[in-house]
Amino acid sequence: MVILITGASHTGKTALAQKLLEKHKYPYLSIDHLKMGLIRSGNTEITPMDDAELIEYLWPIIREMIKTAIENKQNLIVEGCYVPFDWQKDFDSKYLENIKYYCLVMSQNYIRNHFTDIKIYANVIENRLDDEWCTMENVLSDNAEVLDLAQKYNVNCILIEDKYEINVDL
């Protein structure tokens, strides 16, 4: 089984992947680690801020890693924001039946009522070296954009509204 966890920044993708790793012993791939490895090694001119280009650059690699894991009957969690919303088009049914997809999005009310918590928990799994861009306005905008795309593409979206509780079934 391959679990895809995507969504807006600061929604807890990495924390959920870590929680699933600990509970089910499924390894996980952080797309951010892959991104930074490729950037730091000089294998691309793309910068960490080039989101659209990063999806285009990283997705073919990730897609083929997912196929390989399924073909080898291996479990894998893939987490990060560089999964296109039309990801399903890249897999036939034999792959799709082995993929679970979760898109995490926070509601505007949740963000407004819990922004301090969002900032506090930003480093719960990883140490964000530069999180200055994380303002309430940016988080609201990012989550609204992700929610619009999730609805447009009719993907499995977990909307965080009142309380931060995410439970996924494997």
How far from the centroid of its chain's Cα atoms is residue 107's Cα?
Answer: 17
> Is the pLDDT reported for residue 106 higher than 70?
yes
Q: What is the mean pLDDT of residues 119-139?
A: 69
Helix (H) or strand (E) holding 2: strand 2-7
Residue 98, pLDDT score: 98
Tell me the per-residue pLDDT of 35-80, one tens digit each, with 9 for 90 and over.
Answer: 999 999 999 999 988 888 999 999 999 999 999 999 999 999 999 9
Can you list the alpha helix ranges (DSSP code H) found in 26-160?
Answer: 31-40, 51-71, 93-96, 108-120, 136-152
What is the reported pLDDT for 123?
Answer: 59
Judge whether residue 81 has pLDDT over 60: yes
Measured CA angle at 143 (ends 137, 125), to 5 deg: 95
Is 134 in a helix, a strand, or coil? coil
Reported pTM: 0.90
Task: Give per-residue burial for 14-29: e unless 16+ CB within 10 Å, then b.
Answer: bbbbbbbeeeeebebb
* d(C-alpha 27, C-alpha 148), whole Å: 30
Q: What is the pLDDT of residue 127?
A: 59
Mean pLDDT of 84-109: 97
pLDDT given at position 129: 53
- C-alpha–C-alpha distance, residues 15 and 66, integer Å: 20
Asked if 36 contacts 48 with a C-beta cutoff of 8 angstroms, the reply is yes
pLDDT at position 130 is 59
Contact 103, 157 (CB under 8 A): yes
| Whole-number average pLDDT of the chain | 91
Q: How many CA atoms lie within 13 A of 66 on its CB side?
A: 30
69 burial class (0-12, 13-18, 19+ CB within 10 angstroms)?
Answer: buried
